[in-house]
Homo-oligomer: A and B are copies of this chain.
Amino acid sequence: MKSIEAYIQANKTRFINELIDLLKIPSVSADSAYANDVLKTAEAIKSRLEEAGCDLVEITPTDGHPIVYGEKIIDTNLPTVLVYGHYDVQPADPIELWDSPPFEPIIKSTELHPDGAIFARGACDDKGQMYMHVKALEFMVSQNELPCNVKFMIEGEEEVGSVNLAKYVAENKTKLSNDIILISDTGMIANDVPSITTGLRGLSYVEVEVTGPNRDLHSGLYGGAVANPINILTKMIASLHDENNHITIPGFYGKVEELSSAERAQMAKAPFSLDAYKEALNIEAVYGEKGYSTNERNSIRPTLDVNGIWGGYTGEGAKTVIASKAYAKISMRLVPNQDWKEITQLFKTHFETIAPKGVTVNVTPHHGGQGYVTPINTVAYQAASNAYETTFGQTPIPQRSGGSIPIVSLFEEELGSKTILMGFGLDSDAIHSPNEHFGIWNYLKGIETIPYFYKYFTDLKQ
């Protein structure tokens, strides 16, 4: 299948420009102000799937943002690959920290991306990685290299917890039936150290509201005499970790999967420089749960982070006020066996319990999802591994990721199929951050590698 390299060379500029066009549409799913852009993006994906060779493409409305489904069935006796991806993106703020506008993509070279990277919100997560599959399909169909059936399910709510996807999947089990699910929404260790993500963390995301007095108060007349909701909120959040940075919510660690020392030793072999890590983030020291390494803390251990906090006067200058309310958005990353709904309930109960008299607390669950572990002794993993080996020249390392794709465990429950996570981005691509980017080399390498997965998977399944 050497022709893939030639095909990419011949169509490279078009591939890049098509992605840039997609990135110009601000499909921010979390903010209803962008609802129309999200819809426009779904319509663009539909056209691109049709152009790439799908026989059937449809946009299915949901209670939130629509789902785009496409398929190319060549022979029902052949295996079927279901590609999942998402066309929605994270909010771009803080806007002021972007070096260029988040929805005006530009190409710049970086130390890790000497051939240039596309800078835009969604470049890597997940428009760029999702679109690799569309272009891989274009190649396979146009060059008669498609060895099996393929289905696409591209959603618009991944960044807000895939709230309507579960219903869609449950109602379309036959349509979505497949032999393997293929997703590119994770990363790899480095361009010269390919890796396949074999584990994902679960997620529980909540919003808390602490209410004290029924109105904002003058901090002179009332200061010291009433519970200040902001002070109380800081005390409550601070108490969620102990001096060893263990999470203090009763029962939180009850079902946490403990890895054997052998597994931990295996993990520790992945190339990692703590100095380079600290330098890249410009921090003097790392910080985390006692007894675990940095790579363990962000992959096999559960966490609790405040993602946002606000209350009182945050404008220019000074206002001597005691706010009536204070708020925080808090997310917990979970590991396999922790049930996100159970953890959300444990959090809610605990947080309400530790609220002192004088304030009332309201905990609102946002969304969540289960963790996931991919077995590596399967045909699908072998096919993916061989594909990387073919195009990267070396065997990829299996790696646990700290991120979450809540939908993966749901796919297994509803559709009974495993998922392979072939990621081509780098941790340094700043997904969810200002100046998100995706290396052009990585984008094209993904398009080159994916057809080999189809080939090897089909061969191995026969």
Complex alpha-carbon distance, A213 and B294, angstroms:
15
Chain B residue nearest in CB terms to A206: B318
Q: Of residues A205, A217, A222, A241, which shows the largest number of chain B Cβ atoms within 10 Å of its Cβ?
A: A222
Instruction: From known contacts A91-B319, A93-B315, infer whether A287 and B217 are also in contact, taking CB-CB under 8 Å.
Output: no
Q: What number of A residues sit within 8 Å (CB to CB) of B?
A: 102
Residues of B close to A309: CB separation below 8 A: 230, 233-234, 309-312, 314, 326
Give residues of chain A (302-350) contacting chain B, Cβ–Cβ below 8 Å.
Answer: 302-303, 305-324, 326-329, 331, 333
Instruction: Determine if A226 and B333 form an interchain contact, defined as CB atoms under 8 angstroms apart.
Output: no
Instruction: Determine if B333 and A223 form an interchain contact, defined as CB atoms under 8 angstroms apart.
Output: yes
Instruction: Determine if B310 and A219 form an interchain contact, defined as CB atoms under 8 angstroms apart.
Output: no
Instruction: Determine if B283 and A312 form an interchain contact, defined as CB atoms under 8 angstroms apart.
Output: no
CB distance from A222 to the nearest CB of B (A): 6
Instruction: Determine if B221 and A403 form an interchain contact, defined as CB atoms under 8 angstroms apart.
Output: yes
Instruction: From known contacts A308-B314, A404-B220, infer whether A287 and B356 are also in contact, taking CB-CB under 8 Å.
Output: yes
- Interface residue? A48 (CB, 8 A): no
Residues of B close to A315: CB separation below 8 A: 30-31, 91, 93
Task: Give the contacting residue for A317; candidates B31, B213, B287, B427; CB below 8 A.
Answer: B31
CB distance from A404 to the nearest CB of B (A): 5
Complex alpha-carbon distance, A239 and B237, angstroms:
12
Task: Give the contacting residue for A288; candidates B160, B224, B359; CB below 8 A.
Answer: B224
Residues of B close to A223: CB separation below 8 A: 298, 303, 305, 331, 333, 402
Chain B residue nearest in CB terms to A224: B303
Complex alpha-carbon distance, A286 and B226, angstroms:
5
Task: Give the contacting residue for A432; candidates B93, B283, B320, B366; CB below 8 A.
Answer: B320
Complex alpha-carbon distance, A358 and B207, angstroms:
26
- Interface residue? A433 (CB, 8 A): yes
Give residues of chain A (171-230) contacting chain B, Cβ–Cβ below 8 Å.
Answer: 187, 201, 203, 205, 207, 212-228, 230
Residues in chain A within 8 A of chain B (CB atoms): 29-32, 90-91, 93-94, 97, 159-161, 187, 201, 203, 205, 207, 212-228, 230-231, 233-235, 237-239, 241, 281-289, 294-295, 297-298, 301-303, 305-324, 326-329, 331, 333, 356-359, 366-367, 401-404, 427, 430-435
Top 8 A-B pairs, shortest CB-CB distance: A30-B317, A224-B303, A220-B403, A308-B312, A227-B287, A285-B357, A238-B238, A214-B282
